Amino acid sequence: MSRPDRARFGAYGAAVCAAAYGSMKLAQALGANALADKDPLPPHLRERLLARDPLFVASHWVLAGAAVVGVVVALATVRPWGAVVPRRLLILIAWTLGVFMIVRSVGLVGFGFVGDALVLTGVRPPPAGHADLARTLAWWDLLLWSPFFLSWGVCWATAGWRLGKRDRRTP
């Protein structure tokens, strides 16, 4: 398989991750649990999420819609019909999403590998009265959500990198 063909996997990977995430959010919007109890949220927000607070239900619909847009944008980076979208806009979107997701997975914004490790090692004490829940959610984030967002972010960054390489080759 040639190098450009391998680089296309980033776009297809981003599309698959967006579809998986969107499917989960759609299921949650329709009333399914679909890992909602594993979201690494502060206790008061987690209670609202599990009680199907209208704000959270609405956010699930918005995120499911955003995931559909993500699938289309990811595919636009590699499919011929994507040529109608300005390439620089696709590069900007791909790199922005890639960096955001990688930063989230690493934990520089609270959750992620670093934040989870700090909670699990006791360096960052969990909220009083919710220590067991915080550790459980940190494990879920460490083993599921952070690797997922890291993979998704790398896929987006790879798609952006591939588009940038194509831009430099074409006059």
* Residue-number span of the structural domain to which 103 is assigned: 3-169
53-100 pLDDT, tens per residue? Answer: 999 999 999 999 999 999 999 999 999 999 999 999 999 999 999 999
Q: Which pLDDT score is estimated for 171? A: 47
Q: Which pLDDT score is estimated for 129? A: 86
**Regions in the chain scoring below 70 on pLDDT:** 1-7, 109, 166-171
DSSP annotation of 127: P
Q: Which pLDDT score is estimated for 7? A: 65
Domain count within the chain:
1
Q: Are 126 and 46 in contact (CB under 8 A)?
A: no
Contacts of 137 (CB under 8 A, 6+ apart): 38, 39, 40, 41
∠ CA 125-129-132, rounded to 5°: 70
Q: Which pLDDT score is estimated for 114? A: 94
